Structure 1
Amino acid sequence: MGENHRIRFEPVDLEIEVQEQETILDAAFRQGVSLMHGCREGQCSACKSFLLDGDIQMDRYSTFALADYESEEGYVLLCKSHAYSDCEIELINFDEDELRNAVPLQNLRTRIHRLTNLTGDIVALELELLEPTRYEFRPGQYSDLLIPGTEEHRSFSMATTPTEQGRVQFLIKCYPGGRFSGLLTNELRVGDELSLRGPYGAFTLKKDSERDIVCVGGGAGMAPILALLRHLTEIGSTRRVHFYYGARTAADLFLLPEIAELGRRLVDFVFVPVLSEQTDPDWAALGVVEGDTGLVTEVVDRRESDLAAAEVYVCGPPPMVEAAMATVEAKGAARERIYFDKFTTTVPPN
């Protein structure tokens, strides 16, 4: 066992205790502190902060998340940082209202209730909660699913909301040779048990906000956005919502009837599916009021004029997320009101 050290965060006047063998981010989770985070794998940069004083060493991470010159200047990724002295850290991204209001981490035993192929490579995994039978989380957050027979896990966003008692749903993109997703196509069956830990993530609706919402998704990035839409209908929200979803062809679109129904229950909702590899889709046959073609970020650029007053939620593969963030920032969206999840894979060597 290593020593314990104190971490002081600025400019929020908050302290936690950290053990040398745990990351600073994990120590914060343990003590109910909701630091900004994303992938927890050193790839997305959401937890990037600045070391003002102290001794920190980092596990391996992607230089796409933290460039070498940034590390040399003193920037650190809290999800990969171990403290070897008392430290003072300046938070770059934080929500002061939620900082001290983290949902406690929970370990759950679950059983596969349903497996549904939604497209050629996206599967809906629905789990029944066995112990405990209630899971506390915020719509838009994600969970770790343990790979059976190992200590490894993979992280997936939940498409459900906490009101759907006893069940939780994930929309998972299956990759050839995927360590977990590959099991969905050839090994896991209804009735099999899985262990779950969570919740994680800050891809959540902000308390008491009435700002317009713009969502940009791609692939399995549908999951947390669907959770937000389901939650908005549950609370009777009157907020204006625009949802842009990028896919390759019409065959890659899914859950269109539910999205249409959710839209009818919202006061001001626009859904625009965008196809990058099909130029002549029959939108009417798909039940879509309006759609577009090209890259989803190009369509957002064409259709949105001013996002200075909006909250933006972006979820999907890293290239799409990076392009979307650049697009919405150019449209005036404030960086602190852009919430994103990058669906990353394994960490490359640093």
Structure 2
Amino acid sequence: MAPTINYSTLKPAYNIKAKRTFTVVRKYSFIFTLVVALAGQFEPKLGLLVIPIMIGLLIASFFKGRYWCGNICSHGSYYDSLLLPFSRNSKIPKFMQWTALSLIVLAWFGFRMGSGLMHAAESYGTANFWDKTGVVFVNAYMMVVIVGTTLSLLFSPRMWCNVCPMGLMQKMSHYAGKKAKVTRSTEEKVTISDENQCHKCAKCARVCPMQLTPYNSFNDKNQLDSNNCIKCSTCVGNCPAGILTFSNENTAQFITKHVKKEAGENRQRYITKVHRITALKEDVKEFIFQLPDEAITFKAGQFILVKIQDEPEMFRAFSVSHYDEANKRIGVTVKKAPNGYGSEILFNDFKEDMTVVLEGPLGDEIVIDEKSKKAIFVGGGIGITPFVPLVEDAIKREQIEEVKLIYGVNKESELIYIDKFKALAKEHAKFDFIPVIAFDDNWQGEKGFVTNVLEKLDLRDNTIYMCGPKPMIDASLSTLNKLGVDDKTIRYESA
């Protein structure tokens, strides 16, 4: 019987400590919490500053949901700015997400604060009234600091936010805003431009402070309709596909209607078997999958998604490095990343003859333009993988007169597929292969970076396709800009 991945037993570190403080307010508003909670012990009137805060967040939530929580809240800033680096950042227990628990906490805080305010009211008209009123809010802030800090360090930074009384009151205010039909134009939600282009990598879920799962929770309007979303934009900033935005309902409809859909139009799900696993280097493996009988519409330069986890369902995107149409096989080449969530699973748990789910193909960033007559391919590190089928495709195309492949790595020992590229260059006069090594004194060929090679070439009338690590892409774009290359002739994706 063929082995199958037991996805439920794969438990690498899941939640990511991504940057969440994108603005000055989000980075430093924690000062307000500490001033009220600590300095308020000596000057209770500081607690009175909380009253306009409460009014402000209730008004904001009426129009925008829990926007305050993710962008202005001083407690949230305290958790994200100060405590995140020290938190275990583990899974938030399910019971902490129960509405019943939030109601109990709200009732308890309401009783405590109500009793305190009633006691303060007895001093109305005296010099102590404002001190006694302020101390009610000071004590509330101190309690949140103590409890929130404990929960943050032991579990997750935003764990308190699941039961925060003001968070629940914002939900109530937001519900009223929805009933009043004002939120359609005022509330911005996480919006996906095209679900067919989603990598299902769960990066949005892994960085979410509230541990939501946006990528499998979008409604029929392509929006995340969750009243637990705090509108922090962390998922938007970390989406590797770049297809998430914060938009109101009207804008979302415009985006989904006008987005370019070609990149994901042929996406399908395939139940495959691992045909072969080949170790190209100690930290690089090639995985070849046997496709089922149904046809796959693949273009050189596209990528596929490999399922690595079941609950929640999660895939990893890899450029296709092997495609055998006759035998219905497709392959990817993977470099093992230190503590890499996906590569660890592929290297340790994938076996030959194992059943694996694939989705795709996707992407058109570096698919060859039908109008290209000359092509320059630039690959860096593991970013060389899509150029294996791309070079073969370019050589077959009659309209392409000249093809150059610049392949940059740090050391000669890191080169992969070099024999294949050399053989193609020897066999086809229109293909020129230029490996370049950055840090290897024994290397006899081109030395330096891919940018050094680009500076030597005649780039006129060429379409340039690049894939590699972001620093290489950024440096190459800068060099090409200085050389006066038209942006319209440059296509790239990061590896």
TM-score (norm 2): 0.50
The Cα of 1:165 is off from its aligned counterpart by: 4.2
The Cα of 1:103 is off from its aligned counterpart by: 3.7
Runs of 4+ in 1 over 6 A off after TM superposition: 39-42, 55-58, 88-91
The Cα of 1:168 is off from its aligned counterpart by: 0.5
Structure 1 position 233 matched with structure 2 position 395:
yes
Q: Is the 8 A contact 1:304 1:331 kept in 2?
A: no
- Whole-Å separation in 2 of the counterparts to 1:207 and 1:315: 16
In structure 2, list runs of 5 or more residues that go unmatched.
1-177, 179-188, 205-222, 225-230
Q: Which amino acid in 1 is paired with 2:389?
A: A
1:27-66 residue pairs with structure 2 within 5 A? 59-61=233-235
The Cα of 1:213 is off from its aligned counterpart by: 0.9
1:104-119 residue pairs with structure 2 within 5 A? 104-119=266-281
Structure 1 position 183 matched with structure 2 position 345:
yes
Q: Is the 8 A contact 1:141 1:201 kept in 2?
A: yes
> What is the aligned-residue RMSD (CA, Å)?
3.6
* Count of aligned positions: 280
The Cα of 1:161 is off from its aligned counterpart by: 4.1
- Whole-Å separation in 2 of the counterparts to 1:270 and 1:86: 50
The Cα of 1:164 is off from its aligned counterpart by: 4.9
Partner of 1:242, secondary structure, is strand
Q: Is the 8 A contact 1:109 1:194 kept in 2?
A: yes
The Cα of 1:158 is off from its aligned counterpart by: 0.3
Q: Give the aligned partner of residue 81 of structure 1.
A: 245
- Whole-Å separation in 2 of the counterparts to 1:90 and 1:212: 37
Q: Is the 8 A contact 2:308 2:346 kept in 1?
A: no
Q: 2:457 aligns with which of 288, 297, 304?
A: 304
In 2 relative to 1, CA 129–184 (structure 1 residues): closer, same or farther, beyond 3 Å?
same
More helix as a share of residues: 2
In 2 relative to 1, CA 312–192 (structure 1 residues): closer, same or farther, beyond 3 Å?
same
Deviations 1:99-155 (A, max 9, x none): 66864211111111111111232211111113x542212110111111144411111
Q: Which amino acid in 1 is paired with 2:349?
A: E
Partner of 2:341, secondary structure, is coil
Q: 2:355 aligns with which of 176, 193, 198?
A: 193
In structure 1, list runs of 5 or more residues that go unmatched.
3-19, 31-36, 43-54, 67-76, 283-290, 344-350
Q: Give the aligned partner of residue 329 of structure 1.
A: 481
In 2 relative to 1, CA 200–41 (structure 1 residues): closer, same or farther, beyond 3 Å?
farther
The Cα of 1:234 is off from its aligned counterpart by: 3.6
- Whole-Å separation in 1 of the counterparts to 2:294 and 2:405: 32
- Whole-Å separation in 2 of the counterparts to 1:63 and 1:101: 21
Deviations 1:240-287 (A, max 9, x none): 1111111122111121221122223434221111111102225xxxxx
Partner of 1:127, secondary structure, is strand
Q: Is the 8 A contact 2:366 2:492 kept in 1?
A: no
- Whole-Å separation in 2 of the counterparts to 1:324 and 1:213: 16
Identity %: 22
Structure 1 position 320 matched with structure 2 position 475:
no
Partner of 1:216, secondary structure, is strand
Q: Give the aligned partner of residue 244 of structure 1.
A: 406
Q: Which amino acid in 1 is paired with 2:299?
A: R
- Whole-Å separation in 2 of the counterparts to 1:204 and 1:314: 7
Q: Is the 8 A contact 1:171 1:222 kept in 2?
A: no
Q: Give the aligned partner of residue 447 of structure 2.
A: 293
Q: 1:143 aligns with which of 280, 284, 304?
A: 304
In 2 relative to 1, CA 124–236 (structure 1 residues): closer, same or farther, beyond 3 Å?
farther
- Whole-Å separation in 2 of the counterparts to 1:87 and 1:62: 16
The Cα of 1:88 is off from its aligned counterpart by: 8.4
Structure with more relative contact order (C-alpha pairs < 8 Å, separation 6 or more): 1
Partner of 2:243, secondary structure, is helix
TM-score (norm 1): 0.69
- Whole-Å separation in 2 of the counterparts to 1:333 and 1:165: 41
Q: Which amino acid in 2 is paired with 1:81?
A: T
Partner of 2:439, secondary structure, is coil
In 2 relative to 1, CA 183–164 (structure 1 residues): closer, same or farther, beyond 3 Å?
farther
- Whole-Å separation in 2 of the counterparts to 1:332 and 1:40: 39
Partner of 1:182, secondary structure, is helix
Q: Give the aligned partner of residue 23 of structure 1.
A: 192
- Whole-Å separation in 2 of the counterparts to 1:241 and 1:318: 23
Q: Is the 8 A contact 1:203 1:224 kept in 2?
A: no
Partner of 2:291, secondary structure, is strand
Q: Give the aligned partner of residue 432 of structure 2.
A: 270
Q: Which amino acid in 2 is paired with 1:138?
A: K
The Cα of 1:84 is off from its aligned counterpart by: 3.3
State which structure, 1 or 2, has the greater radius of gyration over its C-alpha atoms. 2
- Whole-Å separation in 2 of the counterparts to 1:335 and 1:90: 27
Deviations 1:281-334 (A, max 9, x none): 25xxxxxxxx31122222322x224x2421111101111111112112222322
- Whole-Å separation in 2 of the counterparts to 1:107 and 1:65: 22
- Whole-Å separation in 2 of the counterparts to 1:315 and 1:114: 25
1:90-105 residue pairs with structure 2 within 5 A? 103-105=265-267
More strand as a share of residues: 1
In 2 relative to 1, CA 245–90 (structure 1 residues): closer, same or farther, beyond 3 Å?
farther
